Amino acid sequence: MKIKIILVDDHTMVREALRVVLEQDNRIQVLAEAGDGETALRLTDKLAPDVVVMDVAMPGQSGIETTRRLLAKHPGIKVLALSTYLDRRIVQQMLDVGALGYIVKSAAGTELKEGIRRVAEGHIYLCSAVNSLVAINLQEHKSQLKKPDRPTLSRRELQVATLLAEGKSAPEIAVKLSISPGTVDVHRRNLMRKLEVHNVVELTKYAMRTGLIQP
């Protein structure tokens, strides 16, 4: 079954280029395009896509506000943010309003298609350029991590946390780290307990906010 998407970007040429890239993948179907937030909301009501690829910076209603309104009405739809901004605060804001992924426009088309597939499955997806932001403040926070009021994570927990934040599944993490999926689940539960988060989305937000996770 194809993944049905709506493209939202205020630049017509960008939308046309994205459509060409995406229509090369027979697993993806572009239902419609929108040049502003209000049109995106109307089309979402009418067409019920699986994924909305959302430009962050648009005149009038921003992609952040459009995403907030869209997901308040259609919580089952997945949003993948697309932006020229490689800014940790903006990534955080998009995750905070419910987007499951963030890709910069300079990323390769393969990353966009992979991001669409990942978020359609309910996973977090950050493109390679954004992944580095997850750890951008690690050095600044090293001393704070040693304080009693901050969680102390083992090297393995940090590795698992990083891969979870990148949207990897337990079997994928198990293969990469040469451990069993059951061991991955144990580390995941320990992470959730130590960081006082309840799911991978909250874990990723925590990582973005604190610079806790290393690459």
- Lowest-pLDDT range of 77-81, 149-153, 164-168: 149-153
Q: Does this chain's domain 3-131 share its CATH topology with 137-210?
A: no
What percent of the chain stands above pLDDT 70? 87
pLDDT of residue 150: 55
Residue range 137-210, CATH number: 1.10.10.10
pLDDT band (50, 70, 90) for residue 134 = low
Q: Which residues of 119-128 are buried (b: 16+ CB within 10 A; e: fewer)?
A: bbeebbbbbe
Global pTM? 0.70
Q: For 95-122, give the DSSP string.
A: HHTT--EEEETTS-HHHHHHHHHHHHTT
Q: What is the DSSP pairing of strand 3-8 with strand 78-83?
A: unpaired
**Residue that has been written with the tokens 């009693």 in this structure:** 148
Which sequence spans correspond to the domains of the chain?
A: 3-131, 137-210
In terms of DSSP bridges, do strands 51-55 and 3-8 run parallel, antiparallel, or are they unpaired?
A: parallel
Does pLDDT of 8 surpass 80? yes
Residue 125 to residue 39: CA distance in whole angstroms? 25
CATH of domain 3-131: 3.40.50.2300
* Chain mean pLDDT for the chain: 84
pLDDT at 166 over 90: no
pLDDT at residue 29, as a whole number: 95
Q: What pLDDT is attached to residue 149?
A: 54
Most confident of 40-44, 141-145, 189-193: 40-44
From the list 32, 61, 63, the residue with the least C-alpha distance to 45 is 32
Average pLDDT, integer, range 107-125: 90
